Amino acid sequence: MTLTKILLPLLTGTMLFASSGDYLYKKHCKSCHGTKGEKKALGKSKAIKGMSAASIEQAMHDYASGKRKSIAVAKKMKKDFLQKHNKEDLHAVSKYIHGL
């Protein structure tokens, strides 16, 4: 019983961390970029499928800051994501996208 009390939270936390990129993508990105990152978001951007995690992270920062041109709604979505999530979340979702 004691071993279960110790291991269960550890395993649950590990599973949540492992799926966070998947969860974040489905919650914030899938509707515009498609299930596999194959869509041009709002018919404007290039598909994100196949991009490196580093390229995705840089693009998020560039769009949010205005360094890279985008439509207002895309800029706001990326800016909101960066304000509400930490670097680890961004890296997790970027790695997930890269693996699509």
Q: Report pLDDT for 45.
A: 86
For residue 85, give the nearest of 35, 10, 23, 11 by alpha carbon: 23
Residue 1 has pLDDT above 70, yes or no: no
Question: Do 41 and 31 form a contact (C-beta atoms < 8 A)?
Answer: no
- Residue pLDDT, tens place only, 25-48: 999 999 999 999 999 998 888 899
Q: Which of 41, 52, 38, 48 is nearest to 76 (CA)?
A: 41
pLDDT of residue 15: 44
pLDDT over 60 at 14, yes or no: no
What is the per-residue burial (b if ≥16 Cβ within 10 Å, else e) of 72-92? eebbebbbebbeebeeebbbb
For residue 25, what pLDDT is reported? 96
In the 8-state DSSP scheme, what is residue 50? T
CATH of 20-98, picked from 1.10.101.10, 2.60.120.620, 1.10.760.10, 2.60.40.10, is: 1.10.760.10
pLDDT digits (tens, 9 = 90+) for 66-76: 999 989 999 99
